Amino acid sequence: MWDNVNEFWKLAIELAWESFKNESLPIAAIIVNTEGQVVSSGRNQILEKHLINRKMSHAEMNALMNLDYDAHPEIRKYTMYTTLEPCPMCMGTIVMSDIRKLRIAGKDPWAGAVDICELPYIADKNMDIGFESGLVSNVLTVLYLYRLWEGYGTNAVNFLKITSEYYVQETVLAKELLSQSMLRKFIEQDMSIEEVYNHIAGKLI
Ligand SMILES: [Zn+2]
């Protein structure tokens, strides 16, 4: 449960929940330096209409744009933690920003683009990419699927179909929670992220 979650994932999950509360997609990214300090973070804001470039306002993009590159000459040794496999735009930006180590909580069967690392240009950079497994990944997936079905469920969109078919169990739970508007109730009750996480995790174990 929450107490067993690594500090970096805790921060990312908290930020993802912030995006959910702001009607965007619950996706977040943080950047950690060689001393284990969080030096930047970003969250998905693509549905927040006050932003002029909101379509590009993905979590990883925001985390990278918030970082002063010249102040971090050792960025190649830093680690980015992201709650969902980066899309083509973010994966390209991660590479071009000199981040080499990436930890990802959930695979994105629709837009996930770690495969571009097979391109000769990127393969030459020896990216170190790892996927998280277990509850952190599962809870974040339920959160993500809930928001997808809430936001796009009335449209028969391909990405929703493919993502849901990939995550069968998580989709069942996400739709069950959505049918009760559970996460919106949690927001009304001002529930902490710890309580939200433990509630979802409790249904997964
Ligand atoms: Zn992206």
How many whole angstroms from 63 Cα to the centroid of ligand 1?
Answer: 11
pLDDT above 80: residue 156 = no
154: pLDDT confidence band, cut at 50, 70 and 90?
confident
How many Cα atoms are found within 13 Å in the side-chain-facing hemisphere of 178? 18
How many whole angstroms from 24 Cα to the centroid of ligand 1?
Answer: 13
Check residue 153 and give its pLDDT.
Answer: 85
Encoded tokens for 194: 């710890």
Check residue 196 and give its pLDDT.
Answer: 98
How many whole angstroms from 189 Cα to the centroid of ligand 1?
Answer: 31
Chain centre distance of CA 20: 11
pLDDT above 80: residue 115 = yes
The label of the residue with tokens 């549905």 reads 47
183 or 158, which is more confident? 183
- Rounded-to-integer distance, Cα 81 and Cα 41, Å: 9
How many whole angstroms from 78 Cα to the centroid of ligand 1?
Answer: 19
Check residue 64 and give its pLDDT.
Answer: 98
Per-residue model confidence as pLDDT tens digits over 58-103 = 999 999 999 999 999 999 999 999 999 999 999 999 999 999 999 9
Q: Residue 107: which residues within 8 A CB-CB, separation 6 or more?
A: 85, 131, 166
How many whole angstroms from 59 Cα to the centroid of ligand 1?
Answer: 7
Check residue 205 and give its pLDDT.
Answer: 87
Per-residue model confidence as pLDDT tens digits over 15-44 = 999 999 999 999 999 999 999 999 999 999
How many whole angstroms from 143 Cα to the centroid of ligand 1?
Answer: 17
How many whole angstroms from 113 Cα to the centroid of ligand 1?
Answer: 9
- Rounded-to-integer distance, Cα 42 and Cα 63, Å: 4
Per-residue model confidence as pLDDT tens digits over 126-150 = 999 999 989 999 999 999 999 999 9
